[in-house]
Amino acid sequence: MKNISILGATGSIGTQTLDVIRNAKQSFCLQGISANTSYDKVIQIIKEFDVKYVAITEKNTYEKVKNYCSSSNLKTNVLYGLEGLNTIATLDEVDVVVTSVVGMIGLVPTLKAIKAGKDIALANKETLVVGGELVINEAQKNNVKILPVDSEHGAIFQCLQGNKKEDIYKIILTASGGPFRGRQRDELINIKPEEALKHPKWNMGKKISIDSSTLMNKGLEVIEAHWLFDVNYDDIQVVIHPQSIVHSMIEYKDASVIAQLAVPDMRLPIQYALNYPIREKSIVNRLDFYEVSKLTFEKPDMNTFRCLKLAYDAGKLGGIMPTVLNSANEVAVELFLNNKIKYLQIESIIEECLSKFKNIVNPNLEDILNTDKKVRDYIKSKY
């Protein structure tokens, strides 16, 4: 039996991870979770899974959860803030840490988990975007597995099984294209948050849904793929695949292309990562090729959706620039969701920050955290 902790247990990935665990209770034991403000969901998880440790990052929710556990005579240890998050990530009894928090907050707990010898089921792409070299080096030093949970990187991981990384010609990352596929720039000027949140295929949180609409999500995944699979940026190709059936592909040096196909359901890559290297019985619907009818592929429009190009540019520059990219994007998306900027200003803010901040070639953790703060402060001082 594997002991699991989940960073971000009440979000989209965390909830689906719980479903995987729920369907294989003989294989997994949930030891710890973290959450932010979802009080009711946290209580449900504690009651269902008899969780020993809970970390809450929002003060009022922490007090409510703590009071509930105390008044109910539950033995759950309720922890607070980033320190609590780090504790959940490094519990002695845990084998695998699922990192499904959204944003930069996932970096430090993930590094601490790796240093504590925990395998990582990675759904927090920002961790590798901003700290790729640090994370990969620590994982190698501590003999820790980084098991990708994103559907695209999980697909690449599966396509690699039985093959050698040095035989890769290129990685092909598929993207649905988001809700605005095929639109021109002048059609995006007055986009409202509620429109951008309507993803045609995937049920995701607000931040990731906006990123998907701008193609920044795919840009972040390009940087993540670079670090996960040690492939040059020029050898990572993005293709738009609106059916979301082919989750990604590898073309090998002999021109063979191996793809991973399945219905769009995040429980599959989560299940594969948690059980690796064993395949378990499916908990998702099976793919019916008689009903699929067709699979189509398109070239991404980087002139209309410039965030994808900005991500490639930042990745190729390396150093601190992916941190600048990610921090600027996180703040810009928040501003857009709060109706403080227009949709196309997201990319403008990112581009401005990439021009303003100087590169640091080999950033350490302090450099990354300091730069993240400086970028956020700069944007918030203007908007």
| Same domain flag for 115 and 169 | no
Q: Degrees (nearest 5) of the Cα angle 67, 44, 37?
A: 65
Per-residue pLDDT for 209 more than 80? yes
- Looking at the fold, whether 167 and 297 belong to one and the same domain comes out as yes
One domain for residues 296 and 185: yes
* CA 153 remoteness from chain centre: 10
Q: 76 and 53 in contact (C-beta within 8 Å)?
A: yes
Is residue 110 one of the residues assigned to a domain?
yes
Share of the chain above pLDDT 70, in %: 99
Domain of residue 295 covers 153-193+224-301
CB 333 within 8 A of CB 210: yes
Q: Answer yes or no: is pLDDT of 280 > 90.
A: yes
Domain shared by 19 and 126, yes or no: yes
Q: Which residues contact 10 (CB under 8 A, 6 or more apart)?
A: 35, 36, 38, 41, 42, 45
Same domain as 294, residue 160: yes
Q: Are residues 76 and 158 in the same domain?
A: no
Task: Calculate the alpha carbon distances from 359 to 64, 303, 308, 319, 377 in Å.
Answer: 43, 25, 20, 6, 18
The residue type found at 174 is: T
Asked if pLDDT for residue 201 goes beyond 80, the answer is no
Q: What is the pTM of this model?
A: 0.95
- The answer on 278 and 250 residing in a single domain is yes
Q: What is the CATH number of the domain that holds 109?
A: 3.40.50.720
Determine, yes or no, domain membership for 14.
yes
Q: Which of 301, 326, 356 is the last residue of a domain?
A: 301
Give 3-state DSSP helix, strand, coil % of the chain, rounded to 5: 50, 15, 35
Within this chain, do residues 157 and 248 fall inside the same structural domain, yes or no?
yes
Does the residue 313 lie in any domain?
Answer: no
pLDDT digits (tens, 9 = 90+) for 103-129: 888 999 999 999 999 999 999 999 999
Asked whether residue 354 is domain-assigned, the answer is no
Per the CB < 8 A criterion, the answer to whether 30 and 51 are in contact is yes
pLDDT over 80 at 272, yes or no: yes
pLDDT at 200 over 90: no
Task: Give residue 65's pLDDT band: very low, low, confident or very high (50, 70, 90).
Answer: very high
Q: Scanning the structure block, which residue is given the tokens 């995937």?
A: 202
In the chain, the number of structural domains is 2
Please, what is the average pLDDT of the chain?
96
Q: Do 73 and 98 share a domain, yes or no?
A: yes
Which pair of tokens denotes residue 208? 């990731």
Same domain? For 135 and 158 the reply is no
Helix ranges (DSSP H) in 33-92 = 39-49, 59-71, 81-89
- What is the per-residue pLDDT across 211-241, written as a single tens digit (0 to 9) for each? 999 999 999 999 999 999 999 999 999 999 9
Domain presence at residue 331: no
Domain contains 378: no
**Domain stop point among 235, 266, 301:** 301
Q: How many CB atoms lie within 10 A of CB 175?
A: 24
**Chosen domain end from 86, 113, 148:** 148
Domain shared by 125 and 185, yes or no = no
The verdict on residue 322 lying in a domain is no
User: Does residue 47 sit in the same domain as residue 141?
Assistant: yes
Q: What is the pLDDT of residue 205?
A: 81
Instruction: Answer whether residue 189 is part of any domain.
Output: yes
Over pLDDT 90: what percentage of the chain? 96
